[in-house]
Amino acid sequence: MTSTRRALPERLGEVIRRHREAAGWTQEGFADEIAMHRAQYGLIERGKRDLKLSSLERVTAGLKVTLSTILREAEDA
């Protein structure tokens, strides 16, 4: 039996995007706020980049959500 579940980077990107949009940030504005290159941040939201823990911490701090919240939501997605 094959699994159709999306890869973790895609699920993380989706969760991160939802939180960013709920906070009222544009993708570009948020990337600037957390001092991350806009292209790099865009790859994260599209699930095209495996996140280092330090980058994920930077994103969650900027979103003012816990790392555990993001991971739990991505796991449930």
Q: Per-residue confidence at 68, pLDDT binned at 50, 70, 90?
A: very high
Domain encompassing residue 13: 8-76
39 found inside a domain: yes
1 found inside a domain: no
Q: Does 75 score more than 60 pLDDT? A: yes
Q: Tell me which DSSP letter residue 53 carries.
A: H
2 found inside a domain: no
43 found inside a domain: yes
What CATH number did the domain enclosing 72 receive? 1.10.260.40
44 found inside a domain: yes
Q: Is the pTM of this model over 0.85?
A: yes
Residue found by looking up tokens 């980077």 in the block? 9
Residue found by looking up tokens 């957390």 in the block? 34
The total of structural domains in the chain comes to: 1
Contacts with 73 (C-beta within 8 Å, 6 or more apart), sequence order: 15
By CB atoms closer than 10 A (0-12, 13-18, 19+), residue 1 is exposed
Q: What is the pLDDT of residues 4-63, one digit of tens each?
A: 778 999 999 999 999 999 999 999 999 999 999 999 999 999 999 989 999 999 999 999
For residues 74 and 7, give the distance between their C-alpha atoms in angstroms, rounded to a whole number: 10
Q: Per-residue confidence at 3, pLDDT binned at 50, 70, 90?
A: low
